[in-house]
């Protein structure tokens, strides 16, 4: 509901279930339950965002915050990002453009947490710096819990039931046609590779932390690399 309110799809939220189990062009966050354990499905904001790599018109970008964003005014609806996303995230809208979670980029740029994090009634989703996120996740690992996403995605899941998580991942993951992806990857794009685009150019690092899921952005890391002359 908070996600839909923020994204302007309130009407649908009021007329349908507030806990959709599938992503659509107007549902960017869904709730799936396995063995009684709830998991949130949304864009993982991958470190290596292949969706951005294959976009032929620079519509799908990686921001300095690590948020992977589809610029609607540029999207031509080719569907390449959806083809290569192994988490089954981008969905085509009625206007033929593809849509997905943008990590509430406007909110985090203002220093606010994503709407879903703010709205969580039990504090399962939290917000902090990337160092704190990894520290917290590794502390949970030390206690015997499992994590998914450290150094891989900007949402890091922390959970106790490995089987339930594998069921979740197996359900949302899309089988990919290797040959098709090879063809897509060989298709020329405007930039050739996805650089960390300075989308908003705002200073300050705010990272999302969740007990069920952790979300981070990598602005600090990018800045450190730049200062170190590596990027």
- DSSP-derived 3-state class of residue 126: strand
Write the DSSP symbol of residue 200: S
Site string for ligand SF4, 13-42 (x = CB under 6 A): ---------------xx------------x
Cβ nearer to ligand SF4, comparing 75 with 137: 75
Of the residues 10, 57, 173, 185, which one makes contact with ligand SF4 according to CB under 6 A: 57
Residue placing its CB nearer to ligand SF4 in the complex, 35 or 204: 204
Joined tokens for residue 62: 């990686």
Q: Is residue 155 involved in binding ligand SF4 (CB under 6 A)?
A: no
Is the Cβ of residue 13 or residue 81 nearer to ligand SF4 in the bound state?
A: 81
SS3 139: helix
Q: How far apart, in whole angstroms, are the C-alpha atoms of residue 63 and residue 217?
A: 9
* Alpha carbon distance 155, 49 (integer Å): 13
Provide CB contacts within 8 A for 166, sequence distance 6+: none
3-state secondary structure at position 79: coil
Q: Select 68 or 136, whichever has its Cβ closest to ligand SF4.
A: 68
Q: Is residue 25 a contact partner of residue 94, using CB atoms and an 8 Å limit?
A: yes
Q: Could you say which of 43, 207, 212, 216 contacts ligand SF4 (CB under 6 A)?
A: 43
116 binds ligand SF4 (CB under 6 A): yes
> Which residue's CB is nearer to ligand SF4, number 145 or number 191?
191
Reading the block at residue 116, the tokens are: 């879903």
Chain residues binding ligand SF4 by CB under 6 A are: 2-3, 6-7, 28-29, 42-46, 49-51, 54-55, 57, 59-60, 68, 70, 75-81, 85, 87, 89-90, 98, 100-104, 114-116
């Amino acid at each position: 509901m908070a996600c839909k309110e923020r994204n302007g799809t309130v009407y649908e939220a009021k007329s349908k279930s507030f806990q959709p189990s599938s992503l659509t062009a107007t549902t960017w966050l869904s709730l799936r339950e396995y063995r009684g354990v709830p998991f949130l499905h949304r864009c993982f904001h991958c470190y290596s965002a292949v969706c951005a790599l294959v976009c032929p018109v620079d519509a799908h970008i990686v921001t300095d915050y690590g948020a992977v964003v589809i610029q609607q005014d540029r999207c031509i609806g080719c569907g390449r990002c959806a083809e290569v996303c192994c988490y089954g995230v981008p969905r085509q809208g009625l206007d033929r453009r593809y849509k997905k979670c943008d990590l509430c980029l406007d909110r985090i740029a203002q220093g606010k947490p994503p709407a879903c994090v703010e709205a969580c009634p039990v504090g399962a989703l939290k917000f902090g710096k990337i160092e704190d996120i990894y520290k917290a996740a590794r502390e949970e690992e030390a206690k015997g819990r499992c994590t998914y996403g450290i150094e891989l995605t900007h949402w890091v899941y922390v959970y106790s039931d490995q089987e339930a998580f594998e069921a979740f991942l197996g359900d949302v993951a899309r089988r990919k046609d290797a040959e098709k992806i090879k063809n897509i990857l060989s298709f020329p794009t405007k930039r050739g590779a996805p650089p960390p685009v300075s989308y908003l150019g705002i200073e300050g690092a705010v990272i999302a932390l969740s007990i069920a899921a952790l979300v981070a952005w990598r602005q600090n890391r990018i800045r450190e690399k730049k200062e170190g002359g590596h990027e």
